[in-house]
Amino acid sequence: MALSALADLRIGSVPYLNAKPLVWGLDPSRVVFEIPAVLSGSYERGEVDIALLPLFEVLQLGGGAIADDIAVACRGEVLSVFVASREESFPDIAQISLDPASRSSVALTKVLLDEFYPNGPRVISDDPGESGARLLIGDPALEFRQTHREGWHYHDLGLLWQKHTGLPFVFAAWAFHKDLANPTEVAQSLRDIKQVGLEARAIIARNEPDPAVALAYLTENIRYHVGPDEKKAIALFSQLAAKHGLIEKVAEIRYY
Protein backbone atom coordinates (compact mmCIF):
# COMPACT_ATOMS: atom_id res chain seq x y z
CA MET A 1 0.00 0.00 0.00
CA ALA A 2 1.63 3.24 -1.19
CA LEU A 3 0.85 6.17 1.10
CA SER A 4 3.45 8.58 -0.25
CA ALA A 5 0.70 10.81 -1.66
CA LEU A 6 -0.44 11.50 1.91
CA ALA A 7 3.02 12.06 3.39
CA ASP A 8 2.98 15.84 3.72
CA LEU A 9 -0.76 16.41 4.03
CA ARG A 10 -2.58 17.75 7.06
CA ILE A 11 -5.47 15.36 7.63
CA GLY A 12 -8.70 15.89 9.57
CA SER A 13 -11.36 13.41 10.63
CA VAL A 14 -14.38 13.13 12.88
CA PRO A 15 -13.65 11.11 16.07
CA TYR A 16 -16.57 8.68 15.83
CA LEU A 17 -16.54 4.89 15.61
CA ASN A 18 -18.03 4.95 12.12
CA ALA A 19 -14.98 6.81 10.79
CA LYS A 20 -12.35 4.51 12.30
CA PRO A 21 -12.16 2.08 9.35
CA LEU A 22 -11.35 5.01 7.05
CA VAL A 23 -8.37 6.18 9.12
CA TRP A 24 -7.24 2.82 10.53
CA GLY A 25 -4.17 2.69 8.28
CA LEU A 26 -2.98 6.19 9.20
CA ASP A 27 -0.64 7.21 11.99
CA PRO A 28 -3.13 8.72 14.51
CA SER A 29 -0.56 11.35 15.49
CA ARG A 30 -0.88 12.77 11.96
CA VAL A 31 -4.67 13.11 12.08
CA VAL A 32 -6.61 15.93 13.74
CA PHE A 33 -9.82 14.51 15.28
CA GLU A 34 -12.64 17.01 15.78
CA ILE A 35 -16.42 16.92 16.01
CA PRO A 36 -18.05 17.69 12.64
CA ALA A 37 -18.85 21.37 13.22
CA VAL A 38 -15.32 22.11 14.47
CA LEU A 39 -13.66 20.07 11.72
CA SER A 40 -15.60 22.00 9.11
CA GLY A 41 -14.19 25.25 10.46
CA SER A 42 -10.64 23.86 10.39
CA TYR A 43 -11.13 22.82 6.77
CA GLU A 44 -12.57 26.16 5.70
CA ARG A 45 -9.68 28.02 7.34
CA GLY A 46 -7.17 25.84 5.49
CA GLU A 47 -5.81 24.23 8.66
CA VAL A 48 -6.17 20.76 7.10
CA ASP A 49 -5.59 19.77 3.47
CA ILE A 50 -8.07 16.92 3.33
CA ALA A 51 -10.87 16.10 5.74
CA LEU A 52 -13.45 13.41 6.28
CA LEU A 53 -16.06 16.12 6.10
CA PRO A 54 -19.82 16.02 6.65
CA LEU A 55 -21.47 16.01 3.24
CA PHE A 56 -23.53 19.11 3.98
CA GLU A 57 -20.37 21.11 4.60
CA VAL A 58 -19.12 20.16 1.12
CA LEU A 59 -22.45 21.26 -0.35
CA GLN A 60 -22.43 24.48 1.65
CA LEU A 61 -19.04 25.34 0.16
CA GLY A 62 -20.54 24.99 -3.31
CA GLY A 63 -19.22 21.46 -3.83
CA GLY A 64 -15.70 20.60 -4.86
CA ALA A 65 -13.48 17.53 -5.08
CA ILE A 66 -14.09 14.40 -3.03
CA ALA A 67 -12.62 10.91 -3.11
CA ASP A 68 -14.69 8.48 -5.16
CA ASP A 69 -15.96 5.25 -3.62
CA ILE A 70 -15.33 6.31 -0.02
CA ALA A 71 -18.01 7.50 2.38
CA VAL A 72 -19.67 7.15 5.72
CA ALA A 73 -23.09 6.19 4.45
CA CYS A 74 -26.10 3.97 5.06
CA ARG A 75 -28.87 2.25 3.16
CA GLY A 76 -31.74 2.37 5.60
CA GLU A 77 -31.11 2.35 9.35
CA VAL A 78 -27.83 4.07 10.28
CA LEU A 79 -28.39 3.55 14.04
CA SER A 80 -26.24 6.52 15.11
CA VAL A 81 -28.19 9.48 13.65
CA PHE A 82 -31.70 9.73 15.00
CA VAL A 83 -34.35 11.76 16.75
CA ALA A 84 -35.06 10.30 20.18
CA SER A 85 -38.53 11.05 21.48
CA ARG A 86 -41.26 9.88 23.81
CA GLU A 87 -43.66 9.93 20.87
CA GLU A 88 -43.94 6.69 18.90
CA SER A 89 -44.92 8.43 15.67
CA PHE A 90 -42.44 10.88 14.14
CA PRO A 91 -45.12 13.33 12.85
CA ASP A 92 -46.61 13.51 16.36
CA ILE A 93 -43.46 15.09 17.83
CA ALA A 94 -44.11 18.74 18.69
CA GLN A 95 -40.53 19.99 18.57
CA ILE A 96 -37.02 18.64 18.12
CA SER A 97 -33.95 20.04 19.85
CA LEU A 98 -31.08 20.00 17.35
CA ASP A 99 -27.50 18.88 18.02
CA PRO A 100 -25.09 21.70 17.08
CA ALA A 101 -22.22 19.19 16.79
CA SER A 102 -23.36 18.19 13.30
CA ARG A 103 -24.67 20.75 10.86
CA SER A 104 -25.00 17.94 8.32
CA SER A 105 -27.48 15.94 10.39
CA VAL A 106 -29.27 19.16 11.31
CA ALA A 107 -29.59 19.93 7.60
CA LEU A 108 -30.88 16.42 6.88
CA THR A 109 -33.47 16.83 9.64
CA LYS A 110 -34.63 20.14 8.18
CA VAL A 111 -34.78 18.73 4.64
CA LEU A 112 -36.88 15.77 5.81
CA LEU A 113 -39.23 18.04 7.73
CA ASP A 114 -39.61 20.69 5.02
CA GLU A 115 -39.98 18.24 2.16
CA PHE A 116 -41.95 15.37 3.68
CA TYR A 117 -43.41 16.59 7.00
CA PRO A 118 -44.34 20.26 6.43
CA ASN A 119 -46.94 20.08 9.21
CA GLY A 120 -44.79 17.96 11.48
CA PRO A 121 -42.33 18.78 14.25
CA ARG A 122 -40.67 22.17 14.48
CA VAL A 123 -36.99 22.52 15.30
CA ILE A 124 -35.55 24.40 18.27
CA SER A 125 -32.06 25.05 19.60
CA ASP A 126 -33.04 24.89 23.28
CA ASP A 127 -31.99 22.17 25.71
CA PRO A 128 -34.62 19.42 25.44
CA GLY A 129 -34.56 18.68 29.17
CA GLU A 130 -34.93 15.12 30.45
CA SER A 131 -37.81 14.02 28.22
CA GLY A 132 -37.88 16.29 25.20
CA ALA A 133 -37.21 15.05 21.66
CA ARG A 134 -33.65 15.60 20.50
CA LEU A 135 -31.40 14.91 17.53
CA LEU A 136 -28.36 12.79 18.42
CA ILE A 137 -25.41 11.69 16.29
CA GLY A 138 -22.30 9.56 16.41
CA ASP A 139 -20.96 7.83 19.51
CA PRO A 140 -23.11 9.89 21.91
CA ALA A 141 -26.16 8.64 19.98
CA LEU A 142 -25.06 5.01 20.29
CA GLU A 143 -24.46 5.48 24.02
CA PHE A 144 -27.84 7.17 24.53
CA ARG A 145 -29.55 4.31 22.73
CA GLN A 146 -27.88 1.78 25.03
CA THR A 147 -28.77 3.62 28.24
CA HIS A 148 -32.26 4.95 27.39
CA ARG A 149 -34.50 2.07 26.41
CA GLU A 150 -37.81 2.13 28.25
CA GLY A 151 -40.22 4.82 27.09
CA TRP A 152 -38.04 6.09 24.23
CA HIS A 153 -38.54 5.78 20.49
CA TYR A 154 -35.80 6.22 17.91
CA HIS A 155 -36.59 7.81 14.55
CA ASP A 156 -33.63 6.91 12.38
CA LEU A 157 -32.79 9.59 9.79
CA GLY A 158 -31.22 7.11 7.39
CA LEU A 159 -34.39 5.05 7.49
CA LEU A 160 -36.63 8.11 7.05
CA TRP A 161 -34.56 9.28 4.07
CA GLN A 162 -34.76 5.85 2.43
CA LYS A 163 -38.50 5.63 3.11
CA HIS A 164 -39.19 8.82 1.18
CA THR A 165 -36.51 8.68 -1.54
CA GLY A 166 -35.69 5.00 -1.96
CA LEU A 167 -32.00 5.93 -1.78
CA PRO A 168 -29.07 5.48 0.58
CA PHE A 169 -27.71 8.52 2.40
CA VAL A 170 -24.13 9.76 2.49
CA PHE A 171 -23.15 11.46 5.76
CA ALA A 172 -19.47 12.16 5.16
CA ALA A 173 -16.79 11.96 2.47
CA TRP A 174 -13.11 12.82 2.03
CA ALA A 175 -13.02 16.42 0.80
CA PHE A 176 -9.99 17.95 -0.93
CA HIS A 177 -8.95 21.58 -1.03
CA LYS A 178 -9.08 23.03 -4.54
CA ASP A 179 -5.31 23.61 -4.59
CA LEU A 180 -4.46 19.98 -3.71
CA ALA A 181 -1.69 19.08 -6.14
CA ASN A 182 -2.39 15.39 -6.74
CA PRO A 183 -6.05 14.53 -5.96
CA THR A 184 -6.05 11.34 -8.05
CA GLU A 185 -3.11 9.85 -6.14
CA VAL A 186 -4.47 11.02 -2.78
CA ALA A 187 -7.87 9.47 -3.51
CA GLN A 188 -6.30 6.14 -4.44
CA SER A 189 -4.26 6.11 -1.23
CA LEU A 190 -7.43 6.76 0.76
CA ARG A 191 -9.19 3.89 -1.03
CA ASP A 192 -6.27 1.62 -0.13
CA ILE A 193 -6.57 2.72 3.51
CA LYS A 194 -10.31 2.07 3.42
CA GLN A 195 -9.74 -1.50 2.30
CA VAL A 196 -7.33 -2.11 5.18
CA GLY A 197 -9.84 -0.58 7.59
CA LEU A 198 -12.74 -2.67 6.34
CA GLU A 199 -10.68 -5.81 6.87
CA ALA A 200 -9.89 -4.61 10.41
CA ARG A 201 -13.46 -3.94 11.56
CA ALA A 202 -13.48 -6.90 13.92
CA ILE A 203 -10.28 -5.62 15.53
CA ILE A 204 -11.69 -2.10 15.77
CA ALA A 205 -14.89 -3.40 17.39
CA ARG A 206 -12.95 -5.36 20.03
CA ASN A 207 -11.79 -2.09 21.59
CA GLU A 208 -15.33 -0.74 22.01
CA PRO A 209 -17.44 -1.07 25.20
CA ASP A 210 -19.80 -3.55 23.48
CA PRO A 211 -17.79 -5.32 20.76
CA ALA A 212 -20.75 -7.25 19.35
CA VAL A 213 -22.87 -4.12 18.92
CA ALA A 214 -19.91 -2.22 17.48
CA LEU A 215 -19.15 -4.93 14.92
CA ALA A 216 -22.77 -5.18 13.83
CA TYR A 217 -22.88 -1.39 13.48
CA LEU A 218 -19.70 -1.26 11.39
CA THR A 219 -20.68 -4.16 9.14
CA GLU A 220 -24.47 -3.92 8.87
CA ASN A 221 -25.44 -0.27 9.38
CA ILE A 222 -22.53 1.76 8.05
CA ARG A 223 -21.62 1.52 4.37
CA TYR A 224 -18.31 2.74 3.08
CA HIS A 225 -18.76 2.60 -0.68
CA VAL A 226 -20.04 5.18 -3.15
CA GLY A 227 -21.81 3.80 -6.20
CA PRO A 228 -24.47 5.14 -8.59
CA ASP A 229 -27.21 5.19 -5.93
CA GLU A 230 -25.03 7.07 -3.44
CA LYS A 231 -24.19 9.65 -6.11
CA LYS A 232 -27.91 10.03 -6.88
CA ALA A 233 -28.53 10.55 -3.16
CA ILE A 234 -25.82 13.22 -2.94
CA ALA A 235 -27.31 15.02 -5.94
CA LEU A 236 -30.85 14.83 -4.52
CA PHE A 237 -29.80 16.05 -1.08
CA SER A 238 -28.02 18.98 -2.74
CA GLN A 239 -31.15 19.82 -4.76
CA LEU A 240 -33.44 19.66 -1.72
CA ALA A 241 -31.04 21.63 0.46
CA ALA A 242 -31.02 24.38 -2.18
CA LYS A 243 -34.80 24.18 -2.63
CA HIS A 244 -35.37 24.76 1.08
CA GLY A 245 -32.80 27.53 1.43
CA LEU A 246 -30.12 25.66 3.36
CA ILE A 247 -27.48 26.26 0.68
CA GLU A 248 -27.29 29.01 -1.94
CA LYS A 249 -27.33 26.76 -5.00
CA VAL A 250 -27.04 23.14 -6.07
CA ALA A 251 -23.45 22.06 -5.48
CA GLU A 252 -21.09 20.66 -8.12
CA ILE A 253 -19.23 17.55 -6.97
CA ARG A 254 -16.11 16.18 -8.67
CA TYR A 255 -15.10 12.60 -7.89
CA TYR A 256 -11.44 11.48 -8.00
Q: How far apart are the first and last CA of the chain?
A: 18
CA distance 229 to 243: 21
More confident residue, 195 or 3: 195
Mean pLDDT of 53-75: 96
Pick the range with the lowest mean pLDDT from 64-73, 98-107, 195-204: 98-107
pLDDT at 2: 60
pLDDT at 188: 96
| Inter-residue contact 253 to 63 (CB < 8 Å) | yes
> pLDDT of 113-151, one tens digit each?
999 999 999 999 888 988 999 999 989 999 999 999 899
Q: State what percent of residues in the chain have pLDDT above 70.
A: 99
| Inter-residue contact 149 to 21 (CB < 8 Å) | no
- The CA–CA distances, whole Å, from 67 to 86, 101, 120, 201 equal 39, 24, 36, 21
pLDDT at 239: 98
pLDDT at 3: 77
Domains of the chain: 4-74+168-255 (3.40.190.10), 81-165 (3.40.190.10)
pLDDT at 80: 94
pLDDT at 25: 87
CA distance 74 to 164: 14
Mean pLDDT of 250-254: 96
CA distance 98 to 71: 23
Share the mean pLDDT of the chain: 94
For residue 1, what pLDDT band results from cuts at 50, 70 and 90? low
What are the residues facing 137 on neighbouring strands?
81
192: left (phi over 0), alpha (psi -120 to 50) or beta: alpha
pLDDT at 149: 86
> pLDDT of 81-90, one tens digit each?
999 999 999 9
> pLDDT of 92-118, one tens digit each?
999 999 977 778 899 999 999 999 999
pLDDT at 37: 84
Q: What's the order of all strands across the beta sheet hosting 122-124?
A: 122-124, 95-97, 134-137, 81-85, 153-156
> pLDDT of 212-227, one tens digit each?
999 999 999 999 999 9
pLDDT at 28: 87
> pLDDT of 147-161, one tens digit each?
998 999 999 999 999
